[in-house]
Amino acid sequence: MPQRADRAPGGIHTLRRVIMLLLLAILVSVAAAGATGLLGIVLDPGTVLEDNGYFLAQSVASVVIAAPLGALVYWLTLRWLARFDDRRSVLWPVYLAVVGTVALLVGLTAMLATLADAVSGEWRPDSFALGLVWLAVWAWHAWMWHSPRHAPTRLAAVSPSLAVLVGIGFAIAGVVSALGVLFRSALLGSTSLLVGADHWWMPVLQQLVWAAGGALVWAWHWWGRGIRRSSAAFARFTLVVVSGFLAAAVTLGGLASLAYCVLALTLGVDGSAFAMARESRDLLDQLATAVAAAVSGVLVWAMHRAAVADATTSVRWSARLVASGVALAFAASGFGVVVNAGLAALSGSLAGDERSLLFGGLAALVVGALAWVVLWRPHDPGDETPGESWTAFAGRRAYLVIVFGVSALVAVVTLLVIAYGIVQSVIGVPWSESIIESIRQPLGLLTATALVAVYHFVVWRRSAPYPGLERAAARIEHVTLVAAGVTDALVEQLRTATGAKITVWAPHDEYPPADAAALVRALDEVRGEHVLVVTTSGGVEVVRLAAE
Amino acid sequence: MDAARRYDPVLLSILGIIALLVVLAIAAVLLRGGEDSLEPGSPEGVVQEFASAMIDGDRERARALVSDEAFDDCGGFGGPLPEPGTRVTLRGVSTGESSASVRVGISTGSSGDVFGGSYEESGEFVLVRDGSQWQVSQTPWRFDLCSLEEVE
C-alpha cells in the first residue's frame, strides 16, 4: 500500500539525485543514438556510395560505452529508489516525464513517418530504426511510471497527461492535413502534377496514418491509463488545455480563415483579371484547409464533451474561460488589423492595395467577437453574492486580472514601438517610411489592447471582492489527518467530500488503519478553518483548531 | 435584474467605438485605398506600372518596361512572381542624368493570417533612361525580373 506522498529527504540527496538523473538521461540518449545507428546499418544493406567507417565507429562506440554505464547508473538508481526513498522526490517524476515525453515525440515522429512512407511504397530503414529505438525508450519509461518498484508518488498523472497532449497534437495535425487534401481535391479537381502512379488519395492516406498514430497514443493514455477519470491536478489541467484551448484555437482559426476566403472570393482582392485567376486558386486552397481545421476543432471539442461534463464545475468553467480568452485574442487582433488597414488606406500606396489586410482583420474580428459573446456572456447580469453561477466563479476574477495585465503590457510595448517609428520618420533616417506607414501596425494593436484592458478592468472592479471568496465553497480549509495506512485514494475521497486541503502525518506508534467511510462521517457536519483528525483505537477524533 | 444592468454601458460604449472605427476603416479602404496616381513618365510612375504588372501576374506588360541590358546578369533562372497581396509604398526618389533610384517599402503576407503578420522590407528599383523613357534595370529580389527573360 503506497504511503501518502511526503517529501523525500533533501539537501545533499537532492544534489545526488540531480547528478544521477542527468547522467542517466545523457547515457540513455547516447546509447539510443548508437543503437539507432547500428540498427539502421543492419536493416539497410543497400547501396552505400561512400563509407569510411566513421558512422559505424560512432555508433559502436556510443553503444559500447553508454549502454553498460547506463545500465550501471540505472541499477544504482533502482537501489537508491528503495534505500533513500527517492520515489517521493519530485525530481524522479520530472525525469520520467521529460525523458519519456521527448522519447515519445522522437519515436512517434520517426515511426509514423516510416509508416506514411511505407503506404506510398517507400521503405525507410533509418527512420524505422530511430522510431523503434526511441519508442522502446519511451515504453521503458512508461513502464517505470506504473511499476510498483519505480512509480513516483508525487506529480501524479504528469507523464500520461503529457502523452495525451502529444497524441492529440499529432492527431489534430493529421486530421487537418488529411481533410485538407480531401477538400482541396474536391474543390480544385484532382490535378496530379507528378508523372507516376500517385493517386489523389495517397496523401490523404498518409496523413491519416499520422492521425491514427496520434489518436492511438491519445486513446491509450486517455482511456487505458485513466487520464479521463483522473482527478489529479495535472490531468484536469490537461483536460482544460485540450477542450478549452486547443479545440477553441483550431476551430476559431479555421472559421476565421474560412470567413476570409469567402470575403476575398466574393469581393475580390484585386481588380484585374490576371490577379483574380492566380488568387482564386490560392484562396480555394486556403478554403480547403480552413474547413478542415474548423471540422477538426469541432471534433476535438465533441470528443471531450463527455469528459468535461463529468468533471467538476471548476474544470468546466476554466475550460470556458480559456476558450473565451482565445476568442478574445482573435477578436482583438482582428480589430487591430482592421485599424491597420484603414491607416494604410489613408497613406496611399505605389502598387497593390489593403483589401486583403482588411478582409483578414474583419474575418478574425467577426468570428472572434461572436465566439466571445457566446462563451463569455457579457450580457449576464453580474452576481454580487458569491455562489455557484458563472459570473461568480472564482477563476473568472483571476482571468480578468490576467487579461487586463497582459493587454496593458502589450499596450506599453506598442507605445514604445510607435514612439520609435515616429522619431525615426521625423529625424529622417534613410530608407524609413512615412509616419503613418511605420506606426500603423502598432497603432492598431494599441487600440485593440487599450479597449480590451479598459473593459476587463471595469468588469473586474465591478465584481465585488469578498475576502475568502475562493474558499466559499469549501466547508473546511485545511484538514490535518493523523492516521496510519493512508492511501492516495482515501485522500482523494476526503478532498472531494470536504473540499479541503489535506495534510497527512504518520504516527510513530501503532494505530489502527484509517477507514474512509468513518472519516467522512466524522467530518460531515464540521466547519472550520483548520481541523485536526486523529484515528485512535476508540474511533475517530475531530479537533477544531483555533485560528492563528 | 433591472434593465440598466442587462445592458452594460461600458461594454456598449466600447462596442460603439469598435464599430465606428471598423466602419471608418472599411470606408477608407474601399474609397481612398489603392494607388496614388503618379506621372506615368516619371521614374516612380514606371516603377508603379512595373510593380502592378508583376503583382497582377501580367508578364507582357512588365516585360515592356524592362531594359534589354537588365538580363545580362541573369543565370537563366528566374524568381517567382510576387504574392498577390503584396503592397508597395514609395519612400524616396533620386533622379540623375541617365539613371534614377526609387526606394520602396514592400509588405507581404497577412492574407487570412489572423494575427496580421505582415512582413515589411525595403527595396530599391534602379532605372536607366532610354531616350525619353525610363526603363527598369535592377529590382528588389521580390520583383526579380529574370523570369521575364523569355517573354516577348
Do A333 and B32 make contact, defined as CB atoms within 8 angstroms? Answer: no
Q: What is the mean pLDDT of residues A278-284?
A: 77
Cα distances from A300 to residues A159, A251, A260, in angstroms, run 21, 9, 23
Q: pLDDT per residue over A408-461, tens digit each?
A: 999 999 999 999 888 888 887 776 677 788 888 899 999 999 999 999 998 888
pLDDT tier for residue A50 given thresholds of 50, 70 and 90 = low
Nearest of A474, A472, A471, A469 to residue A495 by alpha carbon: A474
Q: Which residue has the higher pLDDT, A126 or A101?
A: A101
Residue A182 has pLDDT above 80, yes or no: yes
Nearest of A124, A228, A230 to residue A168 by alpha carbon: A228
DSSP secondary structure code for residue A383 in this structure? P
Nearest chain B Cα distance for residue A453, angstroms: 11
CA distance A31 to A46: 24
Task: Kindly state whether residue A108 falls inside one of the protein's structural domains.
Answer: no
Q: pLDDT per residue over A336-355, tens digit each?
A: 999 998 888 888 777 776 78
Nearest of A142, A106, A103, A141 to residue A127 by alpha carbon: A106
Residue B125 has pLDDT above 50, yes or no: yes
Residue A329 has pLDDT above 90, yes or no: yes
Q: Which residue has the higher pLDDT, B88 or A273?
A: B88
Q: What is the mean pLDDT of residues A129-136?
A: 94
Q: Supply A543's cell numbers.
A: 479537533
Nearest chain A Cα distance for residue B94, angstroms: 12
Do B22 and A382 make contact, defined as CB atoms within 8 angstroms? Answer: no
Q: What is the mean pLDDT of residues B34-50?
A: 81
Q: What is the mean pLDDT of residues A511-539?
A: 79
Task: Kindly state whether residue A236 falls inside one of the protein's structural domains.
Answer: no
Query: How high is the pLDDT of residue A51?
Result: 67
Is A422 in a helix, a strand, or coil? helix
Residue A471 has pLDDT above 60, yes or no: no
Q: What is the mean pLDDT of residues A54-81?
A: 87
Task: Kindly state whether residue A470 falls inside one of the protein's structural domains.
Answer: no
Cα Rg of chain A, angstroms: 29
Is A356's Cβ below 8 Å from some Cβ in B? yes
Residue A381 has pLDDT above 70, yes or no: no
A514: domain CATH number is: 3.40.120
Nearest of A260, A263, A279, A281 to residue A271 by alpha carbon: A279
Residue A195 has pLDDT above 60, yes or no: no
Q: How many CA atoms lie within 13 A of A38 on its CB side?
A: 15
Do A363 and B112 make contact, defined as CB atoms within 8 angstroms? Answer: yes
- pTM exceeds 0.80: no
Lowest mean pLDDT among A125-134, A141-150, A184-193, A505-514: A184-193
Counting other chains too, the contacts that A490-497 makes at CB distance below 8 Å and 24 or more residues apart are A490/A514, A490/A516, A490/A519, A491/A4, A492/A231, A493/A520, A494/A519, A494/A520, A494/A523, A496/A231, A497/A523
Domain span holding position A488: 476-545
**Contacts with A, B 123-152, CB within 8 Å:** none
Cα distances from A329 to residues A28, A245, A333, A445, B115, in angstroms, run 42, 12, 6, 11, 9
Q: What is the mean pLDDT of residues A388-392?
A: 62
Q: How many percent of chain B have pLDDT more than 90?
A: 5
* Most confident residue range from A28-42, A96-110, A369-383, A520-534: A96-110
pLDDT tier for residue A132 given thresholds of 50, 70 and 90 = very high
Do A286 and B36 make contact, defined as CB atoms within 8 angstroms? Answer: no
Query: How high is the pLDDT of residue A6?
Result: 57
Query: How high is the pLDDT of residue B117?
Result: 57
- For chain B, give every domain's residue range: 1-33, 40-148
Residue A60 has pLDDT above 50, yes or no: yes
Query: How high is the pLDDT of residue A388?
Result: 55
For CA atoms A263, A269, A274, A280, give the dihedral sign: negative
CA distance A422 to A414: 12
Task: Kindly state whether residue A129 falls inside one of the protein's structural domains.
Answer: no
Residue A110 has pLDDT above 60, yes or no: yes
Query: How high is the pLDDT of residue A12?
Result: 82
Task: Kindly state whether residue A228 falls inside one of the protein's structural domains.
Answer: no
Residue B50 has pLDDT above 60, yes or no: yes
Name the average pLDDT for chain A.
83
Contact B97, B70 (CB under 8 A): no
pLDDT tier for residue A383 given thresholds of 50, 70 and 90 = low
For CA atoms A447, A449, A455, A461, give the dihedral sign: negative
Residues of chain A with Cβ-Cβ distance to B44 below 8 Å are: 350
Nearest chain B Cα distance for residue A213, angstroms: 29
Instruction: Classify domain B40-148 at the CATH class level.
Output: alpha beta
Is A163 in a helix, a strand, or coil? helix
pLDDT tier for residue A1 given thresholds of 50, 70 and 90 = very low
CA distance A501 to A494: 9
Residue A372 has pLDDT above 90, yes or no: yes
Do A455 and B11 make contact, defined as CB atoms within 8 angstroms? Answer: yes
Query: How high is the pLDDT of residue A274?
Result: 59
Cα Rg of chain B, angstroms: 22
CA distance A93 to A141: 10
Task: Kindly state whether residue A334 falls inside one of the protein's structural domains.
Answer: no
Q: Which residue has the higher pLDDT, A319 or A529?
A: A319
Q: How many percent of chain A have pLDDT more than 90?
A: 32
End-to-end CA distance of chain A: 35
For CA atoms A333, A334, A335, A340, give the dihedral sign: positive
Task: Kindly state whether residue A489 falls inside one of the protein's structural domains.
Answer: yes
Structural domains of chain A, count: 1
Residue A173 has pLDDT above 70, yes or no: yes
Is B112's Cβ below 8 Å from some Cβ in A? yes
**Contacts with A, B 50-89, CB within 8 Å:** 51-52, 55-58, 81, 84-89
